[in-house]
A and B are shown apart, each in its own frame.
Chain A
């Protein structure tokens, strides 16, 4: 896959297989195209008019960029959590219920909301104030609410773009812990600037870098343990040990 913004090739030659029910971390320096690649995985880049991709993103054997694929359905099945918690200015309950409601959910909404909040390790903290505004929650709670909102529509993959970078260390550890739990049911792809975080939580790590023409590219993809103890590529080693050049 190659990704362009207009004529500029932002990321070139990405070829990777993301394992099911595992956490895959994408790391690399600023400008290497980490977030751009992540957004390609659920067609978020469609919303940027100059962005286009060459190549394919196969999800269960189907190219999600095929003409007959509905991008809204893609985003339901491949959810996303962003860097800054972005709850709707509505109640906690509505934040979780909203996505399923517009998808025509017909079941027991209370039960669904509780299940999603429990999965996001937030239920105990909010069960007595479901009708209060989501904006009254702490940053870490808001982020877990966004995760609850993402999993409410029962996706298969959750994309996370720096999900803990705006949070304090304790809230960060809670999110990391939650990601580990969620990976039993979901496939998670996370972009992170924090190498220690990638090392702590992920099963696989993709290292991206940027070349002289400022094209991002995938340097190495391997087991996280391998990447952080004995990477195969010198550029990976240089990056994770704090060298550049």
Chain B
């Protein structure tokens, strides 16, 4: 590796990466807490998560502003340019995953403190896989690991399968007792949010591959 002539620019790029990882950690934490709060019907945590989404949004705007500043002031080229372009995309994806956590917070408030229709099994499992995928994607981003970025999206199939399972179970409940339609619908939305979160991890992996290789690819999980 050659010596970097532009040390201050290199430092700024590192900061950009670190900030992206930090945003990712915030989002993972929010998603985990949201599903735990759903399990416990913890209204207080739900309200806090809704409020704290603003912190995630702010962080994402900070990262975006930093990207624009670096483009305007440093005229990045090649790998540096691709990194900044990828960070713009990845931070948007992370922010949207943060919105899913907030969405689950809102669902908790709608469901209220009463007992759930059935114990949560598949939804926490979906959350576990999705957040694991996101953690792996953040590691791959840090290490510019194309191989990992290519394999992480394979786990999305499992999340999709669990979502279909939840969907079937909840529809069965509605068929048994149509008065449960609202409460089942809430849970279905929570599961849908998690399913989308895993899809967005797949998008992040596409951007990691782009950063390293310059190649635009789209994972088709079907």
Contacts and interface: CB of A to CB of B under 8 A. Distances in A.
Closest 5 CB pairs of A and B: A245-B2, A230-B214, A243-B2, A242-B6, A240-B77
B139 to A, nearest CB: 24
Contacts of A195: 75, 77
Interface of B: 1-6, 9, 75-82, 213-214
B4 A230 contact: no
Contacts of B81: 228-229
Contacts of B77: 195, 199, 228-229, 240-241
Interface residues of A, number: 16
B3 A196 contact: no
A245 B214 CA distance: 23
A242 B1 CA distance: 12
A229 B71 CA distance: 13
Which has the most chain A C-beta neighbours within 10 Å: B75, B77, B82? B77
Contacts of A243: 1-5
A237 interface: yes
Interface string A222-245: 000000111100001110111111
Contacts of A244: 2-3, 5
A245 B1 contact: yes
A195 B74 CA distance: 12
B14 to A, nearest CB: 14
Contacts of A240: 77-78
A228 B1 CA distance: 19
A196 B75 contact: yes
B78 A231 contact: yes
Contacts of A238: 2
Which has the most chain A C-beta neighbours within 10 Å: B76, B78, B213? B78
Given A229-B214, A230-B214, A242 B5 contact: yes
A53 B214 CA distance: 38
Nearest to A195: B77
Nearest to B13: A241
Nearest to A244: B2
A8 B4 CA distance: 31
Contacts of A229: 77-78, 81-82, 214
B3 A241 contact: no
A242 B213 CA distance: 19
Contact of B3 (A231, A237, A245): A245
Nearest to A245: B2
A34 to B, nearest CB: 18
Contacts of B75: 195-196
A237 B6 contact: no
Nearest to A196: B75
Contacts of A196: 75
Which has the most chain B C-beta neighbours within 10 Å: A196, A243, A244? A243
A237 B2 CA distance: 11
Contacts of B80: 241
Contacts of B78: 228-231, 236-237, 240-241
16 contacts: A195-B75, A195-B77, A229-B77, A229-B78, A229-B82, A229-B214, A237-B78, A238-B2, A240-B77, A240-B78, A241-B76, A242-B4, A242-B5, A243-B4, A244-B3, A245-B2
Nearest to B214: A230
Interface string A183-207: 0000000000001100100000000
A209 to B, nearest CB: 12
Nearest to A240: B77
A231 B1 CA distance: 16
B140 to A, nearest CB: 19
